[in-house]
Structure 1
Amino acid sequence: MNEEEFLALRLQHKPEKVQALFIADGLPVNNRYFYLKNSSMFRAVKDAYTQVFGDFKDNDEFLKFFKEMGGYFESLTILPIKYLPPKEQAKAREEGIEPLAKKLAEMQPRLIVISLKTIEKYAREAIQLSGITSVEHIAVTPFPVKSMVNVNNCINGIVTALKAVEWEE
């Protein structure tokens, strides 16, 4: 998939009202993507939602529930930056702050989960720049790769974040 296809797929899954916004770093580089239901982040988020809201019969049912509950993924950058040199990654992240702030102002989420500690300062700057007051809780989790510690810390961080917000039944 190319960048336009990833962005189109993400927009297909955008809820009318975003309640829980997950902020990722950039678009995928390896066709592993939350909305393709084949990424470590998809599995971690599904595990967390299962702990909080109960079991799902399959990945499609979970993705439908995620959208119905106002869950949505947005990227700090609209580029796949994983393999860029560190200075170029930082530049792309810096350039992503203002566009993300505008999206945050539109969405007015209640919960924000920043899903990579490396992007926390950029995401928080976007949140501040957006001027939104809708946020009840902000969580920062490691990306669920490289070790089971990261995976478990990501899942536990999302569970804690989901429990910090009052969800309507």
Structure 2
Amino acid sequence: MKIFNKVTLLLLFCAVGTFMNAQEITSFPGMWGHEFYQDKDKLTWKEIDKIMSESQVAQMEWQKSKKQMLGGLIAGTANFGSAIWFLVNENDDKPVTGPVIAFAATGVIGSIFYHSALKNKKEAILNYNESVSKGTSFNLVPTSNENGVGLALKF
């Protein structure tokens, strides 16, 4: 009976050690931007920032994405200002060539920043998921020697 209990315990430890993996992150477009999930749990921005800091490569891409999103926000604000400038000039019968050029240029620049930010977010998530799919840095390995049967930690 003792041997059966030891074998059962050994199998239980092996099963738990085999299935111990970090959870991957998924991203879906939402109404106010991308929403991030780990399994079925929705993550906040604070949680996703903390998770991305676990992998150095993912953190670098994530920080780059945040900077590009800020650049896109600044270009978007300038785009909004140039649209107002266009409307004011059009109502006052002034030339609208300058506002149209500014509106188009800030729109293109904002789009480039936004597209780059989304690309870097995807890269950060893929890098993070790749790092967690490799598993943990240790495994429980069943072993037997002259002292008996047991589990060993393999690093």
TM-score by length of 1: 0.25
Q: Which has the higher strand share?
A: 2
In terms of fraction of residues, the more helix-rich structure is 2
TM-score (norm 2): 0.27
